[in-house]
Amino acid sequence: MWMNIDVILLKLFLALVFSGLIGYEREINESNAGLKTHILVAIGATLVALMQVEITDYVRDLALANPSRPIGVTSDASRLIAQVVSGIGFLGAGTIIVTKSTISGLTTAASIWTVANIGLAIGMGFYSIGILGFLFVISTLFIFKRFFNVHRSYSLVIKYTGGSSTLTEITNTLKEFSFKYEISSYHSVFFADHIIQENVFRIKNTDNDFQGILLKLSTTENIVSVEKNNVHK
């Protein structure tokens, strides 16, 4: 009735290796959940799947051993697995951080959910599904990122005093560094005896020297702050 220890070790080892490689990619990208988190999620999911297999086998063997009378015990082969698939979403949601300027952790949340499913597939003995799923995930994280590097536009939020003269300096600096932009919003607030103005410049070209323009603007008179807004993976 009990599963062979070698089979259990093989499944746990595969879960560790596959989730470890996926977690390593998240680790080197400084994500909110890295190597250890992915490994623990996958191993946990594999353990749940192993228990589900054992429970199902136990109920089947019990029924076969007592064919002439009802045993009053049933087993739903998908019940524990369904709890993992839905429950792991809460852990993934915890890696998503939304602030005023950025959203981070979306890819990490998806990878956590995926390694849980890979662990379930391996634990249930569906090796082909687990291995192919791992290959597709690792290709998406490693290979696609190298060959399909999509540059997203971002915004510069610049707060300043001095009115139109300072704004002219800012736009001249953007042109000096070959930034293609459009002003997407503007507002001003009173602070003590000063009017602090805020312009949001939506940058259309991303192949530019952000550090250079940040250094230049930080030394420009009347500039209060410069903030970069974007969406992180």
CATH number at residue 161: 3.30.70.260
79 and 123 share one domain: yes
Is the same domain home to 20 and 86? yes
Burial of 174 (0-12, 13-18, 19+ CB in 10 A): buried
Asked if 189 and 116 touch (Cβ cutoff 8 Å), the reply is no
Buried b (16+ CB within 10 A) or exposed e, 37-71: bbbbbbbbbbbbbbebbebbeebeeeeeeeeeeee
**Helix residue spans in 29-182 (DSSP H):** 35-65, 79-93, 106-123, 127-138, 144-147, 164-176
Q: What is the pLDDT of residue 232?
A: 44
Closest CA to 176 of 202, 151, 208: 208
Q: How far apart are CA 203 and CA 226, in angstroms?
A: 14
Question: Do 104 and 161 belong together in one domain?
Answer: no
Residue 192, C-beta contacts closer than 8 angstroms, at least 6 positions apart = none
Domain span at residue 203?
154-229
**Which residue's entry shows tokens 């595969």?**
14
User: What are the tens digits of pLDDT across the range 45-104?
Assistant: 999 999 888 888 777 777 777 766 665 556 676 777 888 877 887 777 777 766 555 666
Rounded CA separation 150/20 (Å): 26
DSSP label of 142: I
> What is the reported pTM?
0.64
Give the pLDDT of residue 42: 92
Residue that terminates a domain, selected from 81, 112, 147: 147
Kindly state whether residues 199 and 129 are assigned to the same domain: no
Contact 222, 162 (CB under 8 A): yes
Same domain (yes/no): 72, 120: yes
Residues 168, 136, single domain; the answer is: no
Do 128 and 221 fall into the same domain? no
Q: Does residue 163 sit in the same domain as residue 130? A: no
**Overall domain count for the chain:** 2
H or E element at residue 201:
strand 194-203
Question: Taking a C-beta distance cutoff of 8 angstroms, is the pair 186, 200 a contact?
Answer: yes
pLDDT at residue 209, as a whole number: 73
Cα–Cα distance between 119 and 125 in angstroms, integer?
A: 10
Q: Which residues pair with 159 in a beta bridge?
A: 198, 225
Q: Are residues 117 and 185 in the same domain?
A: no
Residues of the chain with confidence (pLDDT) below 70: 1-2, 67-75, 77, 97-104, 145, 148-153, 206-207, 230-233
Residues 6+ apart with CB under 8 A from 198: 157, 158, 159, 185, 186, 187, 188, 189
For residues 196 and 126, membership in a common domain is answered with no
Domain identity same for 130 and 185: no
Among 96, 120, 147, where does a domain finish?
A: 147
Question: Which of 147, 181, 196 is the C-terminal boundary of a domain?
Answer: 147
Domain shared by 188 and 130, yes or no: no
**For position 201, what pLDDT does the model report?**
85
